[in-house]
Structure formats: structure tokens, C-alpha cells
Structure 1
Amino acid sequence: MSSELIRFDDVTIAYNRHPAVHHISGTITAGSLTAIAGPNGAGKSTLLKAIAGELRPAAGTIKHGLQRNEFGYLPQATDIDRRFPISVIETVLVGAWRQTGAFGRVGKCEMTNALQAMSAVGLEGFETRQIGSLSAGQLQRVLFARLLLQDAKVILLDEPFTAIDARTTRDLLDIIARWHGERRTVIAVLHDFEQIRAHFPQSLLLAREPIAWGPTVDVMSAQNLLKARAMAERWDADADICEPAA
């Protein structure tokens, strides 16, 4: 039987001092695979950052018994500074910091695991490439390899398939399915409704406040999507966009 892992009690989260997500109450169960969907400006990424511990709720509480290092977080691609002079293998090895410490020495075990993670995402032979030379899809594979090495209990993905090719998307969806099979908890911000219906059994539909939360087949109904769209149109009419991204 699934058990409660993360609980939201009337959570409101602010972005740039403006409330971006209002009155979220509900639970994420251990081992679940959940998509967070909704129109642009709905607060999806803001909520994910709060789960990751990067933002604190302005009101209400997010409760769990996890340590910070038990979360694996993949930010939006636009948040990655590709000008930083770092190689692919060095980027992947960041996922081993729990074993090595912030300034620890990378041992044979960590290097072997990093190479295996790179193989799992189809990047054999890319070890010495600089991340700035990679395509969008290749970079996303690197970041998934880093998550594989991190071996986290909860995996948070912020728009993981934006601007990448169909083959990379399929390969990364396979990794997500692997995590789900291992009973890890995966929460992903996504825009593709058909992708959500096909691969994510649970969904939270947001429009700054929850529209629906539960089985995807129920949440992603035409009626709920129309309600979310109507709320987004009201934000535009009021010129009240408080969040530039998802």
C-alpha cells in the first residue's frame, strides 16, 4: 500500500513578493509518478522549487521527513549556465557529492558509477566534452546521468523535455519509468498533455490554485482544462502576470 511522503497544508508560495500559488492542500505518496500541469504563469515551477526547498511557503506548510540530499532536482534548461568551463564527466560526478563531500576526492567507485550512468543515457565517449558544446538533448542526457548518480529518493524535474528531440525524449521517459519501477517518487512539470496522459498516472492541474489533483484520467479532463485556460485568460486581461515561467 502506498504511504504519504509529502503533505501540503494550505500552502501559498510567493514569487517576487507576489503570491504565485494559492491554497495547495494534498499529498504525494511514496513511489508515485506525478505530473504538474497548467498554463504558463500557473505556478508550476514555483511549486517544484518549494518542494525542493529552494523557496519557503508564504503561508501553510510542506511536511515530509526527508533530508535535503534525498531530493534530486533538475532545473529548467534556461537555468543552466553553459558558459561555465566544465566537462561532461565533471558535471555527472556532481551527483556523487553525497559520497565524496563538496571537496572530496573522486574514487574508482564513483568514477565507475558515473561512466555507467553516462552509458545508461547514451553518452559513451562524451566524458571530456565541454557542456557548452552539447546540443540541448545531449545536455539533458548529462543532467539525467547526474540524477542517476545521485540516487535520490525523490526526483523533481522542471520541464525536462523542452526543446529536445523525440528520440531523447523517449530515452529519458524510459529512465523515468525505470525510476518509477524502483519505487522512487518522481514529480515533473510538463506541458504536453498527451505525454502526461500516456506516462504519468497522477497529475496536479494548477492555475495558481489547484484545479484538480488525482488520477490523470480524471484530472486532465476537457472540463478541467477549459477551467484552467479560462483562469489564465483572466490573468492576461488583468495584466497580472506574477511569474515569468511555468
Structure 2
Amino acid sequence: MHKATCLFDAHCTFSDLGTRRRRSLLAHDLVLSGIIKAQDTHEWKDGFLGTGNVYYAMRYNLNPMGTIAHEWFMGATICNYKDATVTALDLWSKLYGENFSVTPTDTFSTEVFYREFDSIRANQWKALRQDSGNPKAFAPRAKQMYKERGIDHTQKGIIYSDALDDVNKVKALHDQCQQLGFTKCSFGIGTWLMNDFRVKSSGYKEKSKPLNMVIKLGSIDGKECVKISDEITKNTGVPEAVTKVKEIYQIPLS
């Protein structure tokens, strides 16, 4: 409840994306109950956007929230790596339409994504999601990308969903977006909300390390799938496949 109140005080909008990182079902329920209570008692009522958990969205009458997963882009590579981004975006648009047009940029690195994210698609998609790399560099680079395509970036959104483990960090990113003209800035928060515990045996001085669950596609019909993150330590896939894909996209190997 305290964390939610701090976010509301800073006028930072956020959603719960903690199902994969939660300590338990009970912990998830308690945290959501606290967020809802904090919102009900706060003067600003627009801060909590919803949850990525459809069960709790139904139980507490919340908006079900989410974006395309990286696996969607990884799966599109079965067609052709060089067309994977546009294939994935266009298939999603055809299936879900404009109301669900928020996309991560870092399946094969953000710069590779921008190579294929032309003016037509940049106009169509409502928001970009930052999920790896340097979060402070994301909004300035996005603004530059939109400017290069002649698009008003102030009508676009930025969603942060990586390592949001401190309210000051969230507030700093929010303030940066406001200064750059991205007024539609929000945060998808997982571990910090749903798995922030301390070790009892340490007198509650040490943080309890949450499980680092990474769920990605391994292969499709025998074809290896990879993810090339903006954070080099987050690359997933067998080394040979990662190297091959980096060569295709002309990404430095190290």
C-alpha cells in the first residue's frame, strides 16, 4: 500500500505485471488489495491502470493489461529473420487491431527494431515498451526516431517494465518523459511489487532473492529461437544461433 501511495503522490501511472515474479498467490492477492485500497483513499484516482493477471482482473473488476510478448516476435522468425519484426507487428495488428498496439522493441535489439519500424507502423502503434538496456536512454532515442519519421511523439506512449525496483527510479523516468513531451508514460511493475521480501534469519536486514524466471521460446519445428536483448546478459538461445542472428542483423558479437 505504501509503494502504491508513493507512486500516486508522484502521479506515476502503473500496472501490475507481477504474476511471473510473485512470491505466491496469497502475496499477489495481498498486494493487489493494498494497491486498490491505496487508490480508493488517494485523491488521485487514475494511477493504477490494471493487472496482467486475468483472474484478478475478473475478481477485482480491474482492467486486464499487457503488451505483446517477446515470444511473438521470436515465433515470427520461422518466416524470415530479416522480416521478423514487420511480420510480427502486422500479424498482431490484423488479429487484435489498434486497441492493443503496444510493442516491446528489444527482441532483436531496439536499433534493429527501429530499422523496420517505418513511418506507417510508427504512426499506427500507440506505444513502445522498454524492457532492457539503459532506461534513461530510451525516451530520448524514441523521440528522435519519431522525429525522423515526421511523427508527433507527444501522441505516443512509453511503457517501462524492466527492473523498476525503486520509487525514485520510477519518478525520475516519469519526469524525464514529461520533459521530453511523452505525457503518456506508464510503468508495468512486477518483482518490486510482488516479491519484495526480507530474510527472517538476517533480522530482516537482507533482501530475499526472488526467482529469476525467464520464459522464452526454445525452438519451433526444430528451428532455434533467440532473443537479442538491449542488455547483453539477457540474450537467450543456444550460442551458435545467437551468433548467427547477430551476424544477420549486423549486431556486434560482444
Q: Which TM-score bucket, shorter chain as reference?
A: 0.3 to 0.5
Relative contact order (C-alpha < 8 Å, sep 6+): which is higher? 1
- Normalized against structure 1, the TM-score is what? 0.39
- Normalized against structure 2, the TM-score is what? 0.38
User: Could you say which structure has the higher strand fraction?
Assistant: 1
